[in-house]
Amino acid sequence: MKTNSKVTVLIRKLPWQFIIIWLICSSNVTAQDLSTKANDFLETLSPQLREEAQFSLTDDERFNMNFVPIIRKGPTFNQFNDRQSAAAVALLKASLGTQGYTKTRAIMELEAVLAIIENDQGRMSDGSLRRDPLNYHFCIFGTPSPTGFWGWRFEGHHISLNFTAARGDLLSSTPSFLGSNPGIVTVAPQKGQEVLKQETLWGFKLVQALDSEQLKIARFADVAPREIITGNKRQVSHLKPMGISYGALNADQQHIFDQLLNVYIDNFQMEYAKQLREKIKQAGITNLSFAWAGGLQPGTGHYYRIQGPTLLIEYDNVQNNANHVHSVVRDLTSDYAEDLLQEHYEKEH
């Protein structure tokens, strides 16, 4: 299938650009370094790009989470020179675990694959290509500081990563959305690539490990919902728990459950991942549940979720003949660190 010269350039440019910058940027980044990385990024920007990138911490844009191809706010890699791109990638790497960064970069590259599969060289109303691996946006909320509250977002098609920091700590990395279309790439040069393979693999391992009686409890529908149920809602704490509890699983099944949970938690920056695990532990891991809908074999539409008092993970693979994955992690107690911010404002005022 033919593609135009712009898409060809994108296919060639993105892996080289990101591999070089990836090697330059240190992977041993602590949460305390995050505000420095954010300020380093802002300082590389022209006044115009900085105005596009920076918002107040209370701006409604901070909660404007989207994971479909739409017109977004914030500058993109298309507007950056090499120095700005390097600073942008350094901030992204500082905010994620190595696994999370690798998946994020691979999802961006899938935009060039989609341009080939769909033969899509169409443009958005703002003139940007509809399928463009460089069309991912940076927004900074508040003033990056090692003491005060601030946040930032990295977002584009199939990626929405939302971070809030204060006092040298990464307080929140949720909502965190990663998607993959295709789920399994069917064309060269990335044929066979499966970016969110572990999310799919361990989900099937767990549901297939259940006996017939357990499956009756875990499987709440024969047909999977077409989309993650929570969508891009700002608050999702009202979602009804369902499925089989962690405590109702045997030791082997619990091990699989643990592996599936780790697939998601290991995407996060190391210190934040530790915080999240501790939060789950304090709430009681036996209070987690696993629910499934749809087919029990790959290639059929399927959905699952892990839910507990503090955590919600949703995975959906229905669209494009079950080759289009959406996944999201939500903190049911403090997405966007809203509870911590509210506590801070109450103390300050």
pLDDT at 239: 80
pLDDT band, residue 119 (cuts 50/70/90): confident
**Three-state helix/strand/coil letters over 147-167:** CCCEEEEEEECCEEEEEEEEC
Give yes or no for residue 264 having a pLDDT over 90.
yes
Phi then psi for 112, rounded to 5 degrees? Answer: -70, -35
**130 compared with 263, residue with greater pLDDT:** 263
Give yes or no for residue 118 having a pLDDT over 60.
yes
pLDDT at 123: 75
- Tell me the pLDDT tens digit for each residue of 208-240: 999 999 999 999 999 999 999 999 988 886 788
Task: Give the Cα separation of 38 and 149 in Å (integer).
Answer: 13
pLDDT at 313: 98
- pTM, to two decimals: 0.90
pLDDT at 32: 53
Average pLDDT over residues 73-93: 97
Task: Give the Cα separation of 28 and 8 in Å (integer).
Answer: 34
What distance separates the 2 farthest-apart alpha carbons in the chain?
62
pLDDT at 12: 44
pLDDT at 236: 83
Please give the DSSP secondary-structure letter assigned to residue 191.
Answer: T
Of the given ranges (38-52, 166-180, 229-243, 290-304), which has the lowest mean pLDDT? Answer: 229-243
pLDDT band, residue 314 (cuts 50/70/90): very high
